[in-house]
Amino acid sequence: MSPRDQATLDKRLATLDHATGALYDTGEFGKQVKLPRVLDALRRVLLVPGGCAAVRERAQRLEAAGLFLGTDWAQPQILIPALSTGSLRSANADTVVVEAVSDLRLLAVTKGDYEHPLISAAAAAEHLSQVLAVNLSLLFSPPSEAEREQQGRMAQVPRELLHYLVAEVGYEKVLENLVDEIWRILRQRPIQVDAVKRMITQIAVARANPDVDLGASGLGADRLISSLYGTTEGCREDPGVEIYRARLESMDDSALQYEATGFARSMHDTGLVSPYHAVLLRFLLGKGEYLLGEAMGLSSTGRDSLLCYHELVRTLIEQAVFVETAQCVYGLALLLERGILYQPPVAPALWRQLSLRLSPHSQQRLTEVFGAVPDPRARLLAGVLSVLGQPLGIGQGDNPTCQSARALSMWAYNDPDYLLQTVVWAARDDEIVMHFEGRPLSSRESGEQVNALPHHDLDPVSLLVVPHLDRIYAEMGRRCAGREGDPHRWINPEFHGWWSGRGFRINVDVATGKIVDLDDFQRHFYASYHPFYNGNQPVIHPQPAGIAVTDSAARFVGWHAITVLRVSLDPQGKMRVYFYNPNNDSGQDWGDGVVVGTAGHGERFGEASLPFEQFASRLYIFHFDPLEPGESAAVDRAELDRVTGYIRRSWGADRLPEEGAAAEEV
């Protein structure tokens, strides 16, 4: 912990101790008056590093003072672990705080620091293991739209709490669920995998402990551990990169090919890249293109790209692939597989990127977040490779920037040379200039500061580019102020690209928030996107759309930007919409049986999907080609009624007229 963090923690603990003493000295009837000050002090302590450990030390004193008085938490023996999920995700900060303190109290009981009269150490340990099991998703992913909207900064407290608990309790009882959760995240192929790697590292530590019994989860855990630390025969015992590099010197071509294919198989299987893989790839620069292609697991398409642009690929490896940036090897491999180097502007743009001089601000920003090794230019280049290779792996992190993340993904997916241009503008010039209705917009010429605090959960490209895009997006919104209707009608085509349909439909009245023209809206969406009603016309360019996000209880949370990628029948013969969600974990429960799929329904890596009618039930904005109207009149009435039912039971509950009133109007 830094001296600054320690000083902040000490100051906040002094306030907490004073408030706890005042609560302790107050009679039972007066405690409700003193309690808010204690809860506020606890909230502030839990928000700083070291807060969980400090609260754990004070748990007995807090309980004795009356923190849990009059609540279910006062009787820990009756608490139900499954209910902790709702408490830790609550929009009420006090509920989150009390649940966190209760869990830390049980940790103190488990460790023998606190002999509780109502619950044994064994029972407390069992409760905590179940709490960890039912909240595993919080260990891996940043807050969802629902959590960010409802909890604000408090959304980080449950995550810090669970990381602390799992470090103290161990993984024995939760490891099987932990391994399953890691595989679920990896199937979505995110660019940012640091959190997953940290979890695998901790599992490796547990695996090495002879006292830890992994049980049935051992095989899955071993696959994850070996993907990073023992992928091939040459690095089976995790010898360290220097020893591994020395071993490569003594290998013949046959042994090197064995190493190359082993790393490639593991990389494409998991989406993770071992640091040893980076060492091998750099070593193979002196061995010819064949082994380079083997090490990246390239198909004929990727090999053709490598052979045609061998000098560029070699230079990219030399300047971007290091032990610290090993994950970009996967991005480079997928970039070659996509064949985008054959687009005339892309290869020259990458040569420009290789010689790009970063502004002092860009260098500082990258160094603050990713460190000084390798240098910021290499770190950004590695990020460019990941973004171009994994356009659907870009995430917004714990930031309300879904529009900008969507734009980056769309450009990487559909217009990679424009993405490379925006990177140059942001990294070299500290400015991006876009046009809105013929007038230039500069990210620099604005009242707001672009130089916001760095977000530690973004990839290097997003870190530099997103602040500029956010500023331009906000300025476009201001220029639409006073216009009738939703500003996205004008913003999306200008912000995202010419391929965004000029036709625009919205089913919410902006002034009142009520749902309007629902039947016509749904018919139009079906006629534009459903293959049975649009002449079997596939989605040609990714299209921006807006959804009404709901939580697992189907309650409205907020509006969210996504990209419609394609619509087709899944392996089970059901029509599904496949879309890109900039939120880092697309597998979300939106309530009323609407559970977003990320695998098992024909999804490609990075795609989310829903059955067509379920997706339509959460849609509130879409773009379309007005010259391709489709057959809206042919849409089945029963299917539209099912969509309306989903809406009425979720975000439209208080936005639609009563069913009786609607019938009278008709």
**What predicted TM-score, i.e. pTM, was given to this entire model?**
0.81
Give yes or no for residue 664 having a pLDDT over 60: no
Range with the poorest average pLDDT among 143-157, 423-437, 537-551: 143-157
Encode pLDDT of 216-237 as tens digits.
666 678 889 999 999 999 999 9
Nearest-CA neighbor of 334 among 260, 259, 386?
386
Contact status, residue 467 vs residue 520, Cβ threshold 8 Å? no
- 290 pLDDT above the threshold of 60: yes
Name residue 439's beta-bridge partners.
436
What letter would DSSP give residue 176?
H
Is the CB of residue 41 less than 8 Å from the CB of residue 67?
no
Output the pLDDT for position 21: 92
Q: Is the pLDDT of residue 511 over 90?
A: no
* In the chain, where the domains are located: 3-169, 175-229, 239-340, 343-479, 503-665
Q: Where do the H-state alpha helices sit in 390-517?
A: 402-414, 416-424, 460-479, 488-496
293-330 pLDDT per residue, tens: 999 999 999 999 999 999 999 999 999 999 999 999 99
Q: What is the pLDDT of residues 488-497, one digit of tens each?
A: 999 999 999 9
Indicate whether 274 pLDDT > 90: yes
Q: Measured at the alpha carbon of residue 639, what is the angle toward residues 634 and 644, in degrees to the nearest 5? A: 120
Q: What single string gives the DSSP state of each residue in 388-418?
A: HH-GGG----SSS-HHHHHHHHHHHHH-HHH
Helix (H, G, I), strand (E, B) or coil at 482: coil
**Run of H or E residues at 611:** strand 608-611
Q: Are 225 and 204 in contact (CB under 8 A)?
A: yes
* Overall average pLDDT of the 411-426 stretch: 97
- Position 173 scores a pLDDT of 67
Q: How far apart are CA 584 and CA 608, in angstroms?
A: 11
Q: How far is CA 200 from CA 234, 240, 322, 514, in A?
A: 20, 17, 20, 47
Residue 130 — very low, low, confident or very high, per pLDDT cuts 50/70/90? confident
Cα torsion 8, 9, 11, 15: sign: positive
Instruction: Give pLDDT, residue 632.
Output: 85
pLDDT in tens, 320-358: 999 999 999 999 999 999 999 999 999 999 999 999 999
Confidence of residue 450 (pLDDT cuts 50, 70, 90): very low
Average confidence (pLDDT) over 417-433: 96
- Identify the H or E element spanning 123: helix 121-134
The per-residue pLDDT for 451 is: 46
